[in-house]
Each structure stands twice: as C-alpha cells, then as structure tokens.
Structure 1
Amino acid sequence: MATFEPHNNRYSQEDVQRILQLAIARQADDQDKEFSYELLSEIAGELDISPDCLQLAERDWRSQQSEIQQRKAFDAYRLSKFKKRLGNFAIVNTVLISINFLATSGHILVLPWSLYILLFWGLKVGLDFWNNFHTKGEEYEMAFQKWYRKNQLKQTANTVLQTANTLVNRWFKALQI
C-alpha cells in the first residue's frame, strides 16, 4: 500500500475542514456514534479553537438544525395540503365524469363537459405539484417565511392563552378559599 506524502505542508482553512470532515466520516464505523461535549471541547482545544468560539459555533449549528427542522415541517405541511387537493380533485372529477357518462347514456362520442373541468382543474393541480416540490427559489423562500411567521404567531397566541388560562384558574381557586 502506498503511503501518503503531502505535496505541501500548508493547507487553507477550507482544505482543513474538508480533510477533517472526510477523516471523521471514514473513521466512524457506526453512523449513530455520538461524541460528548467534553470530547468536542478537547478536539477544539487541539485545533486552537477557543471555548467561546466553540460555543458560538455550537449555537449557530443549533440554529441551523432548528431551521432545517422547520423546513422539514413546512415541506410536510405543503405535502399534506397537496395530497388533500389531489384527493378532492380525484373525487369530484370522478363524480362529474360519472354524472356526465350517465347523462349521455354512455355515448363516448359525445364530448363530455366534465372533461373541461378535469383539464382546467388538472392544470391547477399540476401547477400546485410543481410549486410544492420545487423547493428552491424566491417563491419557496417567501412561502416558507410566511408559513414560519404564521406558526410563530400561533405559538405565541397559544402561550398567551395558556398563561391567561392559568391565571384565571389561580384566581378562581383563590376565590374558592
């Protein structure tokens, strides 16, 4: 087996990050292998990374993970809405085509009026499909931000309602004494 001899002894920060990332990926036999914060601190110390810098990096990483989870939740929400629209499309158009078929006594040569509804609504469903599964670009980002703000508002409203409910319950308990 040939030994690795480096061509130069200096690497850019980006090169160091890539090399270490590849080395860690190759060393980890088990994908579920976890590292303690102490080990992370020790590795950072060996690389001359200050504890403050490590904490800031960890905070940034947690923020990124939170956003990734939010985006997954948003994508799941969009998928469930799309499935509902697709189900509505299938049920309504099946009924309309059946009514049209029965109204024309099964004559296939008659151009069914329900076909127009199927085609125009199908165009809308196709565009919805494209918009839901095209997850890059400004429209996606705007839709995500709108959904995120709406969810934050719901969470804030729920927190306020729970707090108000708790205060009212305490007030009623105090009155009963």
Structure 2
Amino acid sequence: MTKSYPPTANTYRQEDIQQILQIAIARQVNDDEFTREQLAEIAAELEITPETLLAAEQDWMTRKGELAQRQQFNLCRQRQFQRKLSKYAIVNTFLVLINIVSAGALTWSLYVLLFWGLGLAMNAWKVYRPSEEEYEQAFQIWMRKHQLKQTVSVVWDRLNRAWQS
C-alpha cells in the first residue's frame, strides 16, 4: 500500500521554510540538544556560510540575554506590586477594624480603602497591561539602574581586594 501525501506548493516563503524545518528537526531528533558541530553541518547543508552562522548565533545569544533580562524585569515588577498589595491588605484591614470598633460602622476607613485601592489598581494596570512605549521606558530605566549596581559592585569588590592586599 503506497502512502499518499497531500499536494505541496511549489514555492514557500522564508518564514514557511523556517517553520517547516523547525517542525522537521523537532520530529527527527529525540534529544533536544545539538552540538555545535551538528549546527555547523546543518548550516552547511543549507548552504549557509560559517560567517553568517556565527553572526546569527551571536544575534541569537544577544536576543536570549535580553529576553532573560526582560523576564527578570517582569518578575521584579510583579514582586513590587505584590508587596504593595500586601501592605494595602494589612494596613486597610487594620484601619477597617479600628473604624468598626470605634464608630460601629465603616465611615472614614472606606475612603482610605477606595482611594488607596484606586492607586493600587492603576499600578496593577501598569505592571500587567502596560503600553509598549511605557514598558520599554520602564525597562530601559531598570536596565540602567541594574547596570549601575553591577558596575558599583565590581568596583567595590576590586577596591576591597586592593585594600586587603
């Protein structure tokens, strides 16, 4: 019995080729890791020059590093929001209890609860649904601070080693 294949197109767009090859490579190999030599062989079979492969690999490493930094930034923002939410819950629970004990009903604490809650909701929107421009601006500021901290840490370590010598 012969296997029938679906009709195929005569031409493919570059992104279609990338997707097809990605699926084929994923199906062919059970192990998810390739050696650098295997990568070079695949590139040679596709007539990709070693220089182009090296440039692509460097670009991929840069993108991977930036993605890791963005994930770290997102995690940092989410942790900051969670701390603010915890403070909101603790302080407002205390204020509501004081208000109920002293006045027997919610009076003034309701205003604190609502206005602080509005600010918290706006902060949640910034963290979880930012505009692209706003997100990019916040990320760049965070990156500068992060790089400055790293630079200061390296300089401090070198000074400590120099003083200890």
Using structure 2 for the length normalisation, give the TM-score: 0.92
Question: Percent identical across equivalent pairs?
Answer: 47
Is this contact kept in 2: 1:78–1:132, CA < 8 A? yes
Higher alpha-carbon deviation: 133-142 or 89-98: 133-142
Equivalent residue for 1:156, pick from 151, 155, 164: 151
Gaps of 5+ in 2: none
What corresponds to 1:77 in structure 2?
76
Q: How well do the aligned residues superpose, as a CA RMSD in angstroms?
A: 1.6
Q: Which amino acid aligns with 1:20?
A: L
Q: Output the CA distance in 2 between the equivalents of 1:48 and 1:136.
A: 41
What corresponds to 2:118 in structure 1?
123
What SS does the corresponding residue of 1:6 show, helix, strand or coil? Answer: coil
After TM superposition, give the deviation of residue 73 of structure 1 in Å.
0.5
Sort the Cα spacing of 1:137 and 1:119 in 2 relative to 1 into closer, same or farther, 3 A: same
Instruction: Trace 1:97-116 onto structure 2 (pairs within 5 A).
Output: 97-104=96-103, 106=104, 108=105, 112-116=107-111
How far does the alpha carbon of each residue in 1:29-85 deviate from its partner, in whole angstroms, 9 at most, with x for none? Answer: 46xx10000000000000111111111111110111101110110011001100110
Q: Output the CA distance in 1 between the equivalents of 2:118 and 2:129.
A: 16
- Tell me whether 1:36 sits opposite 2:35 in the alignment: yes
Is this contact kept in 2: 1:134–1:140, CA < 8 A? no
Larger Rg: 1
How far does the alpha carbon of each residue in 1:116-160 deviate from its partner, in whole angstroms, 9 at most, with x for none? Answer: 000000001111111111155110110011001100010011001
After TM superposition, give the deviation of residue 165 of structure 1 in Å.
1.1
Is this contact kept in 2: 1:93–1:114, CA < 8 A? yes
- Tell me whether 1:25 sits opposite 2:26 in the alignment: yes
